[in-house]
A and B are shown apart, each in its own frame.
Chain A
């Protein structure tokens, strides 16, 4: 009987329930990460788009930059702690914007040699594009329209590092440490860039704001 018990222990079937357990736990982790990433990306996507739009001055390029940054974050940093995602995401986005600006400069030099082409010919009409997001009322809307137009023009005219510091601090609400991490520079540099950005904007917008 003792021998049987011993042999039974040796020849017993492998415990597959633990494998299932590991797999189920992995699936649950994946679902949790996916949900957390979805919430994070949803919370930053509009402001990220505005930052890219002001840096690139082109909606399609801005959307590409945001999409690439989302892809990169999920691909490379999904396993990191959720607290790290925000500065990482904006670091990726800042690099992407800078790359696209450089590429555009090079492309501009090459295209200057080619005949001009009307790029609006191949644009399809998209009815969703015409849908307004919400309507705060005509008077308020007009006032906001003007303020947005003036401010965005002024922000778009800032030097790139000042623009980056201003948008990350002011629009995204990152603190100095997170902004430094996103910009890849020291906290002192962030403070300097941000201060100069404010000075520049105040000089341009003082009468309006």
Chain B
């Protein structure tokens, strides 16, 4: 009884799988070919994806080391201007600004005006 039921459901499900329409069968074939095409691709090197994260981590570590050094109360470990360096290193927007190079002349002119 149970085996008949199992067998009947199996037959019906197999028939259903065999009756897939053309679009579905075509897409399955394409999916298979796309998957197999990966075998021919050269293995990806691991390092490019880690470079930005590694650089960010290095900057963070450097910043922490310099900041902790400046908090020890020893003036020799925290020379003047060092905190500004840390801020510059940690300021992502500043890096973008320098990288973009847009309006650089304007800021130079504005700085000159303030000094004069």
The verdict on B34 contacting chain A, using a C-beta distance below 8 Å, is yes
Chain B positions within 8 Å of A59 at CB level: 24
Q: How far apart sit A152 and B17, CA to CA, in the bound complex (Å)?
A: 11
Chain B positions within 8 Å of A71 at CB level: 34-35, 38
Chain B positions within 8 Å of A28 at CB level: none
Which listed residue, A46, A50, A74, A205, touches B35 by the CB 8 Å rule?
A74
Nearest CB of B to A43, in Å: 11
Q: How far apart sit A19 and B35, CA to CA, in the bound complex (Å)?
A: 29
Nearest CB of B to A192, in Å: 15
The verdict on B5 contacting chain A, using a C-beta distance below 8 Å, is yes
Segment with Cβ contacts to A, from B6-14, B70-78, B81-89? B6-14
Nearest CB of A to B75, in Å: 55
Whether A132 lies near B9 (C-beta < 8 A) is no
Whether A66 lies near B31 (C-beta < 8 A) is yes
| B residues at A contact (CB < 8 Å) | 2, 5-6, 8-10, 12-28, 31-32, 34-36, 38-40
How many residue pairs, one in A and one in B, have C-beta atoms under 8 Å apart? 116
Which listed residue, A34, A126, A170, A198, touches B36 by the CB 8 Å rule?
A34
Which listed residue, A41, A50, A70, A202, touches B16 by the CB 8 Å rule?
A50
The B contact surface, by secondary structure, is: helix
Which listed residue, A33, A49, A63, A151, touches B9 by the CB 8 Å rule?
A151
- Supply 13 A–B pairs (Cβ within 8 Å), ascending by A: A30-B39, A37-B35, A46-B20, A46-B25, A67-B31, A67-B34, A74-B39, A129-B23, A129-B24, A144-B15, A198-B2, A201-B5, A205-B9
Which listed residue, B6, B10, B27, B35, touches A41 by the CB 8 Å rule?
B35
With a 10 A CB-CB cut-off, give which of B8, B22, B31, B38 has the most chain A CB atoms: B31
The verdict on A78 contacting chain B, using a C-beta distance below 8 Å, is yes
Q: Determine the interface band of chain A, counting residues with CB < 8 A from chain B.
A: 35 or more
Other than the known A71-B34, A148-B19, what 12 A-B pairs have Cβ atoms closer than 8 Å?
A33-B39, A45-B31, A47-B14, A67-B27, A67-B35, A126-B23, A128-B21, A130-B22, A148-B15, A151-B13, A170-B6, A171-B17
